[in-house]
Each structure stands twice: as structure tokens, then as C-alpha cells.
């Protein structure tokens, strides 16, 4: 993928948008955020995976590699479509405006979505709904049955379902497809509405000259519709339990590494049909986004394999991935791949060579650059144009949090000397000095989490790797996104010629 021009963009997951329903949604606040991007001369909106999260509410531990997170559906838009009545939202519980309380949100919002689905199916069948279901039958019908069964069985992972269901006995599946017909239809409805609402946002953003960068998690959760339907593509035993799991060795974030727990792929099996599951997955995502950040790119060259019985990632080892053959095969079917390689972590010459051979731009993170480099003065100016430079990702602290609590002393000394930072420097002046630094770099794209635009501290961090509680919850408030903020950002972007 070649960068046509230097650009600046903002990283914000839709769950972090403001709104009355306890979680960001695809309603008015999403359109207002696009307007803010346009006013501040941003050309790109980057999001995290849109998939339905599973364990820990992580969008990187998904219940399906395809299905969107139906909790993002705007209920107000359903009122406008007369699928809900305004008074039916009056029993909304008191929900936090500053963080997502996932279980409370899910309990209330799914009741409303069920009401909307009931009205939807009482009407004459819509041709666009039927076309959506038919077009996406590869994954949708199995996903909807999977979700209906999970609800029927009190949320148990599919590995603990009755044997005939876990092993997908045909007669048993037919029985439950009839028994759970309404529940299955509900999940198809949610995916249809999610698809419609997001497509409208994408069209709106594109008309304003703003592209959307999506995120493709390399792995899926062990308890997912994908592993249930296609167990032969994953390293699972006869009971569906992973035998080997994914993670990374000890690194910047953790001295014992990160044991993600996702089942690893059987790449040889996947290659037999030219990676059909991957092709379907990527094709569907490209209906929602313009470019894709390819999560954990180095895992396609070699991945860290951990025996499932290990409780940490220390006792793993590197195993060769599908490499260039995988990407060449995708390209044969899908054409040019608008991918950004997330090439952070332990990067070998082989990973660099793979990235070069398939011409994907890579990533750099300002915090890592300043912490780990001696030639800090020349680093940003000598950076390749085929680089996407982040102030921080969803896994990093905010700039303020990093500077105050995590930055190495030599990085702090450099910034004080190079940018003239002192104890009297305000929080906003400190952050915007750093933003000017990255926007002035040679990197093709510069990506800034909204938390840094708003000069927020560690309390607004999105995720802390290696921890299980309190992640993915951050939301901003409507009043934080001011015209003054947009104008200030616009002036810097224009000065650095990234408009």
C-alpha cells in the first residue's frame, strides 16, 4: 500500500463515543465525531476491531471473526425507523457517561433490540434483509445458531455443551434450528442493522474526505463460532480444547510474556483451499473500512507457540507461519491489499524481509522510539515515508501518563532539552509539543489516540496488557470535543502540511 499524501488521523473506538445508553453507538455522536475530524483537517479515523467481544470484553478476543458488536447499534435510529417507540427508552438505567459498564449495558440494550426485532419481523419481509442473509450465509447462519445456543445454555463455552451439539451432529442441529428459530432470527436482525448503520457512517465519512482504518485481529477466541464450526482449522483436541495457544514472549509490557490463550491455526489445512476462511473474513471487513491494520503481523512470519497447560508465556517457542505464500494467495483473489503491518515487538530480519516483499507499511510508536533510541534527534526526520507513526496505541499509556509515570529518564531528559519542557510547562503545552514533533516527522501517516488530543492522563488508558480488569471501558464526554480543540489541531496539521 502506497501513501498518496501525508496525513494525520485519530484513533478512537466507537465504544468510546458519548451518548445516553452507557456505550458509544453508531448514532448522532459518531456523525459529530466525523464532523470534528473534518473540522480539524484529519483525513483518517482508525478504529479497533468492530467484532463482538468475548472474554474480558476485548475486541481481540472475539466470539466471531465476522459478526459486528450489536451493542454499538443506535437505539435512537431504531426509533426513527419506527422499530422502537421513544417512550420505550424511558426505563433506561442510570449508566456511566465516562466508562462502559458492559454487563449493565448489555442487559438493558438487548431487551430493546429484542423489541425492535419483534416489530421488524411482524412487518412484510424486506428484500434488503433477505439479500444480506443470503450474501453472508457463509458465516451468518452458523453464528446466529451459535449465539442462540449459548443463551439457551447459560453462556457456557461450546466445549462444555452436550456432545451432540459440541460435535455438530446434523440431526441435533436441525432440532435446535427449529426450536430456536426466533432467537436465531434476532441475531441475524442485529447483524443486518449493525451493517446498515455502520455503512451509513462510512459513506458519510468518505464524502467528507475521511477514510476509515479498521483492525483485523490475527486470532479468534477459543470459544467462538469459528472454532465451533471449523475446528479442523485450529489446534484443538477431540473435545475442542486448544492444545497450543497464542501469545508473545517476555517483552516491554510483561516479564513473563503475554499468554493470550487464543487457539493457534493449522496453517497447512487452511492452505488447502487457498485460505478461504481468511478471504471471506477480509472481504467482509473491507465493506466496513478502507484500510486494515493487520494485528500481530510478525505472527504470519513466525508465531509464539505456548503449550495450553502453561500458565504464562515464558515456556513457548517460535514456529514458522504461512509467510509470503499466504499474502500472495490473498492478493490473487482480492487484488491489492490495503494493509498496515503491526510490526511491533520482537522483529527479526525475516519479518522485515516479509514486509518488504509484500510492500506493506509498518508501524512505529513514539513512546517506544523515545525510550529505546540514542539518536532521538534524527529518528523522526529519518523515518521512512512508508511508516505509520503512533503517539501510542490502544495498549500504551496516554502521552501524559507515559511522560509522568513510564518514560525512561533519558527520554525525559531529551524532551526537556529538545522541546524546552520544564516543571512550569502545562499539560496541554507538553502534549502539543509532542504532537508537533510527530506531525513534523517523515512518516506517511501519523495516528493520535483521542486521549492525547484531549491531553488526558493514565486514568483514560484504553488497555493495559497482561491485566484482566478495567480495560476497554474509557469514554469521552461531548463537551471535551470543542471547536477550539478542532481549530488548534487544524492549525498544526496545516503547518506540518498534513491537511
Q: Where are the alpha helices (DSSP H) in 162-316?
A: 163-166, 170-179, 181-207, 225-229, 267-271, 276-285, 298-301
* Average pLDDT value for residue range 392-402: 97
How far apart, in whole angstroms, are the C-alpha atoms of residue 9 and residue 429?
Answer: 20
Catalytic, 429? Answer: no
One-character DSSP codes across 373-418: -S-HHHHTTS--SSEEEES--TTSPPHHHIIIIIS-HHHHHHHHHH
* Average pLDDT value for residue range 447-472: 94
Minimal CA–CA distance to 259: which of 397, 50, 66, 55? 55
Catalytic residue among 226, 395, 397, 452: 395
pLDDT tens by residue, 366-381:
999 998 877 787 777 7
pLDDT for position 3 = 63
Q: Which residue has the cell 475442542?
A: 240
How far apart, in whole angstroms, are the C-alpha atoms of residue 297 and residue 345?
Answer: 10
pLDDT tens by residue, 109-131:
999 999 999 999 999 878 999 99
pLDDT at 203 over 80: yes
Q: For residues 320 and 300, is the Cβ–Cβ distance under 8 A?
A: no
Q: What is the distance in angstroms between the CA of the first residue and the CA of the last residue of the chain?
A: 20
pLDDT band at 1, cuts 50/70/90? low
pLDDT tens by residue, 289-336:
999 999 999 999 999 999 999 999 999 999 999 999 999 999 999 999
pLDDT tens by residue, 177-195:
999 999 999 999 999 999 9
How far apart, in whole angstroms, are the C-alpha atoms of residue 293 and residue 216?
Answer: 6
How far apart, in whole angstroms, are the C-alpha atoms of residue 281 and residue 64?
Answer: 10
Minimal CA–CA distance to 393: which of 130, 215, 164? 215
Catalytic, 290? Answer: no
Q: Please report how many Cα atoms fall inside a 13 Å half-sphere around the Cα of residue 351, on the Cβ side.
A: 20
Please state, in angstroms and as integers, the Cα–Cα distance from residue 473 to each residue in 136, 453, 464, 476, following that order. 30, 18, 12, 10
Tell me the domain boundaries of the chain.
Answer: 7-495
How far apart, in whole angstroms, are the C-alpha atoms of residue 263 and residue 44?
Answer: 33
pLDDT tens by residue, 54-84:
888 999 999 999 999 999 999 999 999 999 9
Please tell me whether the overall predicted TM-score, pTM, comes out greater than 0.85 for this model: yes
Q: Which residues contact 384 (CB under 8 A, 6 or more apart)?
A: 442, 443
pLDDT at 405 over 70: yes
pLDDT for position 4 = 63
pLDDT tens by residue, 18-45:
999 999 999 999 999 999 999 999 999 9
Catalytic, 295? Answer: yes
pLDDT band at 423, cuts 50/70/90? confident
How far apart, in whole angstroms, are the C-alpha atoms of residue 132 and residue 169?
Answer: 27
pLDDT at 480 over 80: yes
CATH superfamily entry for domain 7-495: Glycosidases (3.20.20.80)
pLDDT at 2 over 70: no
Rounded to the nearest integer, the mean pLDDT of the chain is 95
pLDDT band at 382, cuts 50/70/90? confident
Catalytic residue among 226, 342, 343, 397: 342
pLDDT at 365 over 80: yes
* Average pLDDT value for residue range 354-377: 89
Catalytic residue among 290, 295, 429, 440: 295
* Average pLDDT value for residue range 355-370: 94
Bridge partners, residue 306, by sequence: 245
Strand order in the sheet with 317-320: 258-263, 244-248, 302-307, 317-320
Give percent of the chain with pLDDT exceeding 90.
Answer: 88
pLDDT at 215 over 90: yes
Amino acid at each position: 500500500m502506497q501513501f498518496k499524501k501525508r496525513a494525520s488521523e485519530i484513533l478512537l473506538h466507537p465504544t468510546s463515543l458519548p451518548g445516553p445508553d452507557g456505550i458509544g453507538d453508531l448514532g448522532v455522536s459518531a456523525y459529530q465525531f466525523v464532523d470534528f475530524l473534518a473540522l480539524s483537517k484529519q483525513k483518517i479515523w482508525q478504529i479497533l476491531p468492530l467484532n463482538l467481544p468475548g472474554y474480558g470484553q476485548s475486541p481481540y478476543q472475539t466470539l466471531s471473526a465476522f459478526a459486528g458488536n450489536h451493542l454499538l447499534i443506535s437505539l435512537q435510529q431504531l426509533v426513527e425507523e419506527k422499530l422502537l417507540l421513544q417512550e420505550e427508552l424511558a426505563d433506561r438505567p442510570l449508566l456511566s457517561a465516562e466508562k462502559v459498564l458492559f454487563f449493565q449495558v448489555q442487559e438493558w440494550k438487548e431487551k430493546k433490540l429484542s423489541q425492535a426485532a419483534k416489530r421488524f419481523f411482524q412487518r412484510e419481509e424486506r428484500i434488503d434483509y433477505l439479500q444480506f442473509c443470503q450474501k453472508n450465509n457463509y458465516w451468518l447462519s452458523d453464528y446466529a445458531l451459535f449465539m442462540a445456543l449459548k443463551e439457551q445454555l447459560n453462556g457456557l463455552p461450546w466445549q462444555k455443551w452436550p456432545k451432540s451439539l459440541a460435535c455438530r451432529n446434523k440431526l441435533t442441529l436441525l432440532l435446535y434450528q427449529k426450536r430456536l428459530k426466533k432467537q436465531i432470527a434476532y441475531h441475524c436482525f442485529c447483524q443486518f442493522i449493525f451493517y446498515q448503520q455502520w455503512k451509513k457512517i462510512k459513506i458519510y465519512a468518505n464524502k467528507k474526505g475521511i477514510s476509515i482504518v479498521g483492525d483485523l485481529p490475527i486470532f479468534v477466541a477459543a470459544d467462538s463460532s469459528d472454532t465451533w464450526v471449523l475446528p479442523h482449522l485450529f489446534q484443538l483436541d477431540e473435545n475442542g480444547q486448544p492444545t497450543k495457544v497464542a501469545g508473545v514472549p517476555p517483552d516491554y509490557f510483561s516479564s513473563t510474556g503475554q499468554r493470550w490463550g487464543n487457539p493457534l491455526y493449522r496453517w497447512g489445512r487452511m492452505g488447502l483451499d487457498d485460505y478461504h476462511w481468511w478471504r471471506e473474513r477480509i472481504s467482509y471487513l473491507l465493506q466496513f473500512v478502507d484500510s486494515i491494520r493487520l494485528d500481530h503481523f510478525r505472527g504470519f512470519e513466525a508465531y509464539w507457540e505456548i503449550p495450553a497447560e502453561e500458565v504464562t508465556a515464558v515456556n513457548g517457542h517460535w514456529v514458522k507461519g504461512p509467510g509470503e505464500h499466504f499474502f500472495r494467495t490473498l492478493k490473487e483473489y482480492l487484488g491489492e491489499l490495503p494493509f498496515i503491518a503491526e510490526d511491533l515487538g520482537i522483529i527479526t530480519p525475516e519479518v522485515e524481509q516479509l514486509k518488504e516483499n509484500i510492500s506493506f507499511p509498518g508501524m512505529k510508536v513514539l513512546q517506544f522510539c523515545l525510550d529505546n533510541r540514542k539518536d532521538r534527534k534524527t529518528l523522526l526526520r529519518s523515518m521512512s515515508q512508508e511508516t505509520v507513526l503512533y503517539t501510542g496505541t490502544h495498549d500504551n499509556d496516554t502521552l501524559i501518563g507515559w511522560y509522568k509515570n513510564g518514560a525512561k529518564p533519558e527520554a525525559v531528559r531529551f524532551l526537556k532539552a529538545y522541546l524546552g519542557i520544564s516543571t512550569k510547562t502545562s499539560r496541554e503545552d507538553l502534549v502539543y509539543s509532542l504532537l508537533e514533533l510527530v506531525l513534523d516527522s517523515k512518516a506517511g501517516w501519523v495516528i493520535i489516540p483521542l486521549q492525547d488530543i484531549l491531553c488526558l492522563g493514565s486514568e483514560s488508558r484504553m488497555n493495559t496488557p497482561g491485566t484482566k480488569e478495567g480495560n476497554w471501558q474509557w469514554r469521552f464526554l461531548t463537551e471535551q470535543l470543542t471547536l477550539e480543540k478542532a481549530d488548534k489541531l487544524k492549525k498544526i496539521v496545516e503547518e506540518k502540511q498534513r491537511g
